[in-house]
């Protein structure tokens, strides 16, 4: 095992994939000499050359569309977007094309493309750079949506995503890049669509994904101080969605809280809460508790911005309010 | 149609712009020495304010800065040819000099960079130089964190003006990098079809963050694209404020006389990294910047003004120390301003009082 950052884990995943398969190549804005907006592709241009690490013009529709085409032609493009917000410029290619080409061709064509994008807010990048559209993409049949929270998961899931024969939206919460964790020294894969119990407990199940897991782990730590034993379930991917692991945990603890850092209304947290309620209401001591980001665009001013991001205290308060523990 | 080069190697009042005016009919009235002096003042103020903001970023007080250093002459020259009260300005994030030339104050701009209460563009909600300001007197709009979004919108306001029979020009500002976006193409095509009064003003600093222009496009001049839309394209030396004035003035005359849009490409240099988050030594060869600073439009304009006897040591000193004083005062006032109140957070997601309003 070696301790590395989330960013280094992604970079190692890209290296391993580039080494393993000559069909893999990278494409995106400023991923060459600039190392990518969050330095994930550092050193890759030098090692793999400009054919396999391609800087693009600022034209998301063109290079995501070109990624779809290259994938259909048999390559395995890993396309980097500078921000999940910019995926909207390419959303026609993603939603109308990448997600449906297999279906619309009766299985004759496939789109083994990975679309990596930093996502989330909290670093004063303001309204049009601080968004998470993972939940939108998770509602589209044909796409897979991967949302790792640790270096271990980031590396293993990235390898699986690149080998997957379906288009994968790989969401990298920008607050995670500098976080650290252990990864095995040997190559490994983490399967897409399998949730992970990040902490075991008996009193309440806390469900989340990506950066939300950092908040939930801290909340679980805090709850332990008052004698509440919380279990933390990390979804790891929103589509396919592993509800079995969630349900198993909820039926054990009898209480559930879902944390969705994104907007509350029609957020992915609502889907999880509804599913838990539908499947496990007999086991629950009360309604499914919900914590989410506020229904506002993300403001630039730091004190205002912080008002919209779920904090540990929100989780503790919501549990107290819902379950009285 | 045609595309025209009107770049002159060094800034000067003499040989600029005439080719442009010949080709496109009446150009703008010739600039006087006093006009140029005023433009010089704005450039000096812009440079000093820009340096201050950069410094405040390094001290951790301003979250992010995109510098206008190197773009000053282009920006001040363009505004000189337009009417701040009549025209509409769809700017992008590098328009510090444009803002000053339009009369936005250094304090208003600094409140934006520090995201403080009273920030006039967005109520401290948006990036510096983003939002909309003072729409009763001036129409300056900017939301382009996502590059090129302002181009179709500028076309839309020009369409509205045309439909209402109002005579004004809308200027859409963008970089060479943004010219690769699909929206840029769509906006130009649409504007030209309907002969809308738009000036597409491209500030070509030859870099999109780290990507050099050679990897963004396979053409020498962005202005040549204009012919594909059936509109004039003018390439101009963006270090020459007078040449830019001439080119934009000619484009404004076309727009106001119902002859439709023009693409003006001002070739400039980016003196600093892309933003305060960037380290350009990773990708920018030193020889790229060598010599460029010798062409700095501010000392070049100073030289012209001295040569014509408009500027002497005493006046230059006065201009520079006044600019510094203004910047210092604005810095102090901005730093003393409070942050926005928490209750502002939910305001203006929806119209006040309409269902959905959470404020
Ligand atoms: C659609 C979109 N993609 C990517 C970005 C990230 N980005 C911000 S500025 C920039 C470079 C813009 O270059 P250019 O248009 O030449 O303007 P300059 O900054 O050089 O003045 C990029 C890639 C963005 N803001 N919007």
Q: Are strands B233-237 and B262-267 parallel, antiparallel or unpaired?
A: parallel
Mean pLDDT of A144-172: 98
Cross-strand partners of A237: A146
Residue A2 clears pLDDT 60, i.e. is over it: yes
Q: How many CB pairs under 8 A join A and B?
A: 117
Furthest-apart CA atoms within chain A: distance in Å: 59
What pLDDT was estimated at residue A122?
Answer: 86
Inter-chain contact A301–B211, Cβ cutoff 8 Å?
A: no
Which distant-in-sequence residues (6+ apart) come within 8 Å of B307 by Cβ? none
List the alpha helices (DSSP H) in B262-312: 286-289, 297-307
Q: Is B178 in the pocket of ligand 1 (CB under 6 A)?
A: yes
Tokens (6 digits) for B307? 């040569």
Q: What is the pLDDT of residue B11?
A: 35
Predicted pLDDT of residue B19: 52
Task: Note the Cα B37 to chain centre separation in Å.
Answer: 19
Alpha carbon A38 to its chain's center = 16
Nearest beta carbon to residue B125 from set A29, A61, A299: A299
How large is the angle between the packed helices A312-323 and A211-225, nearest 10 degrees? 60
* CA distance linking residue B44 with residue A95, whole number of Å: 49
**Residues of A whose CB is below 8 A from B64:** 124-125
At residue B264, φ and ψ (nearest 5 deg) are -110, 125
ω into A100 cis (within 30 of 0):
no
Beta bridge partners of A55: A28
What's chain B's length in residues? 359
Residue B344 forms contact with A (CB below 8 Å): yes
Contact B125 A86 (CB under 8 A): no
Is B185 a catalytic site residue?
no
Question: pTM of the full predicted structure?
Answer: 0.93
The domain segmentation of chain B, as residue ranges, is 3-346
**How far is the C-alpha of B300 from the C-alpha of B74, rounded, in Å?**
13
* Whole-number pLDDT of residue B13: 32
Catalytic choice (B52, B88, B94, B270): B270
Range A2-183 classified under CATH 3.40.50.970: yes
Fold of the A196-323 domain? Rossmann fold (3.40.50)
Q: Find, in chain A, the residue whose alpha carbon is nearest to that of B65.
A: A125
CB atoms within 10 A of CB A320: 14
Closest-CA residue in chain B for A45?
B283
Which residues of A are less than 8 Å from B57 in CB distance? none
**C-alpha R_g of chain A:** 19
- The residues spanned by each domain of chain A are 2-183, 196-323
Element (H, E) at B237: strand B233-237
DSSP 3-state of A181: strand
**Choice from A33, A58, A93 to test ligand 1 binding pocket (greatest atom count within 8 A of CB):** A58
Q: How many CB atoms lie within 10 A of CB B36?
A: 24
* Dihedral sign from CA coordinates of A310, A311, A313, A316: positive
The C-alpha atoms of residue B271 and residue B205 are separated, in whole angstroms, by 9
Structure tokens at A85: 């917000």
Tokens in use for A151? 């270096």
Q: What is the dihedral of CA B273, B65, A59, A79, to 10 degrees?
A: 80
> Under an 8 Å CB criterion, which residues of A touch B?
29-30, 32-35, 55-62, 85-86, 88-89, 124-129, 294-297, 299-304, 307-308
Element (H, E) at B201: strand B198-204
Q: How far is B126 from chain A (nearest CA, A)?
A: 5
**Burial category of B13 from C-beta neighbours within 10 Å (exposed 0-12, middle 13-18, buried 19 and up):** buried
Answer for the pair A249, A208: CB distance below 8 angstroms, yes or no: no
Q: How many CB atoms lie within 10 A of CB A42?
A: 16
CB atoms within 10 A of CB B303: 14
Query: Which chain A residues touch B209 with a CB distance below 8 Å?
Result: 29-30, 34
Confidence at residue B5, expressed as pLDDT on a 0 to 100 scale? 43
**Nearest C-alpha of chain B: how many angstroms from A117?**
15
Residue B6: per-residue pLDDT: 42
In chain A, DSSP assigns E strands to 2-5, 24-28, 53-55, 76-80, 114-119, 144-146, 168-173, 180-183, 196-199, 204-208, 230-234, 237-239, 256-263, 289-293
Which of left, alpha, beta for A284 (phi over 0: left; psi -120 to 50: alpha)? beta
- Among the listed residues B185, B283, B284, B306, the single catalytic one is B283
- A63 burial via Cβ count (<10 Å: 0-12, 13-18, 19+): buried
Contact status, residue A302 vs residue A118, Cβ threshold 8 Å: no
State residue B286's pLDDT score. 87
Residues whose CB falls within 8 Å of the CB of residue B322, separated by 6 or more in sequence, listed in order: none
The answer to whether A61 and A89 have CB atoms below 8 angstroms apart is yes
Q: What is the pLDDT of residues A29-86, one digit of tens each?
A: 999 999 999 999 999 999 999 999 999 999 999 999 999 999 999 999 999 999 999 9
DSSP letter for each residue of A218-278:
HHHHHHHHTT--EEEEE--EEES--HHHHHHHHHHHS-EEEEEEEESTT-HHHHHHHHHHH
Cα–Cα distance measured from residue B108 to residue B106, given in angstroms and rounded to the nearest whole number = 5
Q: Which helix (H) or strand (E) holds B171?
A: strand B170-175
Interchain CB distance below 8 Å, B63 and A124: yes
- First-to-final CA distance of chain B: 53
Q: What is the mean pLDDT of each run of 10 residues along chain B (359 residues)?
A: 38 41 76 97 98 96 94 98 95 96 95 90 84 75 87 96 96 98 98 98 97 96 97 98 97 97 98 95 88 93 98 98 98 96 87 88
The per-residue pLDDT of chain A, averaged, comes to: 97
Spatial separation of the C-alpha atoms in residues A115 and A225, rounded to whole Å: 41
Q: Contact A300/B125, CB-based, under 8 Å?
A: yes
Residues B122, A300: C-beta atoms closer than 8 Å = yes
Q: How far is the CA of A220 from the centre of ligand 1 (A)?
A: 41
Chain A residues within an 8 Å CB radius of B130: 126
State how far the Cα of A260 lies from the Cα of A212, in Å rounded to an integer. 7
Q: Which of residues 216-245 of B touch A (CB under 8 A)?
A: 216-217
E strand or H helix at B131: strand B131-133
Cβ distance A11 to A36 under 8 Å? no
Nearest residue in chain B measured CA to CA from A87 = B146
Q: Are B252 and B81 in contact (CB under 8 A)?
A: yes
Cis peptide, bond prior to residue A240, ω within 30 of zero: yes
Asked if A33 and B283 come within 8 Å (Cβ–Cβ), the reply is yes
C-alpha A251 chain-centroid distance: 26
Q: Is the CB of residue B20 less than 8 Å from the CB of residue B4?
A: yes
Is CATH 3.40.50.300 what the domain over B3-346 is classified as, yes or no? no
CA–CA dist A29, A113 (Å, integer):
17
Q: Which of A217, A115, A148, A186 lies closest to A6, judged by CA?
A: A148
Whether A218 shows a pLDDT value over 80: the answer reads yes
Locate A138 and state its tokens: 């998770």
Pairwise CB contact (< 8 Å): B339 & A57: no
Between CA A50 and CA B137 the distance in angstroms is 50
Distance from CA of B345 to the nearest CA of A (A): 6
The span from the CA of A11 to the CA of A7, in Å, is 6
By CB neighbour count within 10 A (0-12 exposed, 13-18 middle, 19+ buried), where does A244 fall? exposed
The neighbour count for residue B150, using CB atoms within 10 Å, is 24
Residue nearest to atom 26 of ligand 1 (CA): B146
Query: In ligand 1, which atom is closest to the CA atom of B275?
Result: 19
* Residue A303 burial (10 A CB sphere; 0-12, 13-18, 19+): middle
Ligand 1: centre distance to CA A204 (Å): 45
């Amino acid at each position: 095992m070696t301790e590395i950052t989330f960013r280094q884990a992604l970079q190692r995943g890209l290296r391993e994939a580039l080494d393993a398969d000559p069909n893999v190549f990278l494409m995106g804005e400023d991923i060459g000499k600039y190392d990518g907006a969050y330095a994930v592709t550092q050193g890759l241009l030098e090692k793999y050359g400009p054919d396999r690490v391609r800087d693009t013009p600022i034209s998301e529709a063109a290079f995501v569309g070109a990624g779809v085409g290259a994938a259909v032609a048999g390559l395995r493009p890993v396309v980097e977007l500078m921000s999940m917000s910019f995926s909207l410029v390419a959303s026609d290619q993603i939603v109308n094309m990448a997600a449906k080409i297999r279906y619309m061709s009766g299985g004759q064509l496939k789109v083994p493309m990975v679309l990596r994008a930093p996502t989330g807010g909290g670093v004063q990048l303001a309204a049009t750079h601080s968004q998470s559209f993972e939940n939108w993409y998770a509602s589209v049949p044909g796409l897979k949506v991967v949302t790792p929270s640790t270096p271990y998961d980031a590396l293993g899931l990235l390898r699986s995503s690149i080998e997957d024969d379906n288009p994968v939206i790989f969401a990298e919460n920008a607050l995670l890049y500098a976080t650290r964790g252990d990864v095995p020294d040997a190559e490994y894969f983490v399967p897409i669509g399998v949730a992970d119990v990040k902490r075991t407990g008996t009193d309440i199940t806390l469900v989340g994904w990506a950066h939300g897991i950092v908040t939930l782990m801290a909340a679980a730590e805090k709850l332990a101080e008052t004698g509440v034993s919380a279990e933390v379930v990390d979804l790891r991917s929103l589509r396919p969605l592993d509800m079995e692991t969630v349900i198993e945990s909820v039926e054990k603890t009898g209480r559930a809280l879902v944390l969705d850092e994104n907007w509350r209304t029609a957020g992915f947290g609502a889907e999880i809460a509804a599913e838990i309620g539908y499947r496990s209401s007999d086991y629950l001591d009360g309604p499914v508790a919900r914590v989410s980001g506020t229904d506002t665009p993300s403001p630039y001013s730091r004190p205002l911005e912080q008002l919209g991001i779920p904090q540990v205290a929100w989780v503790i308060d919501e549990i107290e309010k819902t379950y009285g523990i | 149609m045609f595309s025209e080069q009107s770049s002159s190697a060094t800034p000067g009042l003499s040989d600029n712009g005439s080719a442009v005016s010949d080709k496109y009919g009446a150009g703008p009235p010739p600039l006087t020495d006093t006009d140029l002096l005023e433009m010089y003042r704005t450039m000096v103020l812009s440079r000093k304010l820009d340096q201050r903001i950069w410094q405040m970023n390094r001290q951790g007080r301003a979250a992010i800065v995109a510098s206008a250093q190197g773009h000053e002459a282009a920006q001040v020259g363009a505004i000189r040819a337009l009417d701040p009260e009549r025209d509409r300005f769809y700017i992008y994030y590098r328009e510090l000099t444009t803002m000053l030339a339009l009369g936005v104050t250094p304090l208003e701009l600094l409140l934006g960079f520090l995201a403080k209460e009273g920030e006039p563009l967005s109520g401290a909600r948006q990036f510096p130089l983003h939002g909309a300001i003072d729409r009763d007197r001036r129409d300056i709009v900017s939301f382009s964190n996502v590059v090129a979004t302002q181009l179709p919108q500028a076309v839309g306001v020009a369409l509205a003006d045309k439909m209402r029979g109002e005579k004004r020009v809308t200027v859409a500002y963008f970089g060479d990098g943004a010219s690769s976006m699909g929206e840029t193409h769509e906006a130009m095509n649409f504007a030209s079809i309907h002969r809308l009064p738009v000036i597409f003003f491209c500030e070509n600093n030859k870099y999109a963050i780290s990507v050099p222009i050679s990897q963004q496009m396979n053409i020498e001049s962005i202005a040549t694209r204009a012919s594909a839309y059936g509109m004039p394209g003018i390439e101009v030396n963006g270090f020459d404020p007078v040449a830019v004035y001439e080119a934009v003035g000619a484009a404004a005359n076309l727009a106001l006389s119902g002859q439709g849009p023009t693409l003006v490409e001002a070739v400039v240099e980016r003196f600093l990294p892309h933003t305060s988050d960037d380290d350009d030594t990773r990708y920018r060869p030193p020889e790229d910047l060598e010599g460029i600073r010798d062409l700095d439009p501010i000392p070049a304009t100073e030289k012209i003004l001295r040569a014509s006897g408009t500027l002497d040591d005493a006046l230059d000193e006065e201009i520079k120390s006044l600019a510094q004083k203004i910047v210092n005062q604005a810095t102090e006032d901005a730093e003393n301003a409070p942050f926005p109140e928490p209750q502002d957070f939910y305001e203006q997601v929806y119209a006040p009082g309409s269902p959905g309003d959470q404020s």
